[in-house]
């Protein structure tokens, strides 16, 4: 178990690259998933994608308060509805912005052993699934941002 360094936007173009599918469900993948969970919890995040720790593999961890979800090679099966919510990103520290996302999504993926799994999410889980899957294709929430609300949130906290 180890905390890995989280790459920030603008410091490395790795966040802009496409990640590769996982083909080997070996010990190395298990170590990556364990380290990603440790890193996410230590940073107080609700999700983390492998490129954020410099690994261009299609691997994601999520915990929106309902327990740890590990997703390998995730793909959106279907989505429905639209919601606009405020997002942040551990790779864009200190900033917040609004983004439109589906209200509900269903994702197919594999677990750390390669077994097929499906996850359905609404609310924050749906947002987080979409946010993390975007990271695997080099997309950051700021690319889809409707409005930067960093200053508005700071004012509310004054």
87 binding partner (options ligand GNR, Ni ion, none; Cβ < 5 to 8 Å by kind): ligand GNR
46 or 72: CB nearest Ni ion? 46
- Residue 13 has φ and ψ, to the nearest 5°, of -80, 0
11 or 24: CB nearest Ni ion? 11
| Annotated active-site residue in 118, 132, 147, 155 | 132
List CB contacts of 111: < 8 A, sequence separation 6 or more: 70, 72, 117
Going by C-alpha positions, the residue among 92, 82, 107 that lies closest to residue 143 is 92
61 binding partner (options Ni ion, ligand GNR, none; Cβ < 5 to 8 Å by kind): none
Judged by the rule CB under 6 A, the positions of this chain that interact with ligand GNR are 45-49, 52, 87-91, 127-128, 131-132, 135
Q: Are 105 and 126 in contact (CB under 8 A)?
A: yes
29 or 46: CB nearest ligand GNR? 46
Judged by the rule CB under 5 A, the positions of this chain that interact with Ni ion are 89
Q: Cα–Cα distances in Å, from 113 out to 110, 116, 133, 138?
A: 8, 9, 20, 25
115 or 152: CB nearest ligand GNR? 152
48 binding partner (options Ni ion, ligand GNR, none; Cβ < 5 to 8 Å by kind): ligand GNR
CA distance 116 to 54: 25
138 binding partner (options ligand GNR, Ni ion, none; Cβ < 5 to 8 Å by kind): none
Q: Are 97 and 79 in contact (CB under 8 A)?
A: no
132 is an active site residue: yes
User: Catalytic residue numbers?
Assistant: 132
């Amino acid at each position: 178990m180890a905390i890995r360094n989280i790459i920030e936007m603008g410091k490395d173009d790795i966040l802009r690259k496409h990640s590769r599918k996982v083909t080997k469900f070996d010990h190395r993948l298990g170590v990556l998933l364990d380290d990603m969970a440790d890193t996410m919890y230590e940073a107080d995040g609700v999700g983390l994608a492998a490129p954020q720790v410099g690994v261009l593999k299609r691997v994601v961890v999520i915990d929106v308060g309902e327990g740890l979800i590990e997703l390998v090679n995730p793909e959106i099966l279907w989505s429905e509805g639209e919601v606009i919510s405020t997002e942040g990103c551990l790779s864009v520290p200190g900033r917040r912005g609004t983004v439109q996302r589906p209200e509900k999504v269903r994702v197919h993926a594999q677990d750390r052993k390669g077994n097929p799994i499906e996850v359905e999410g609404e609310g924050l889980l749906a947002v987080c699934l979409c946010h993390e899957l975007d990271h695997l294709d080099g997309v950051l929430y700021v690319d889809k941002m409707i409005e930067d609300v960093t200053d508005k949130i700071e004012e509310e906290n004054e």
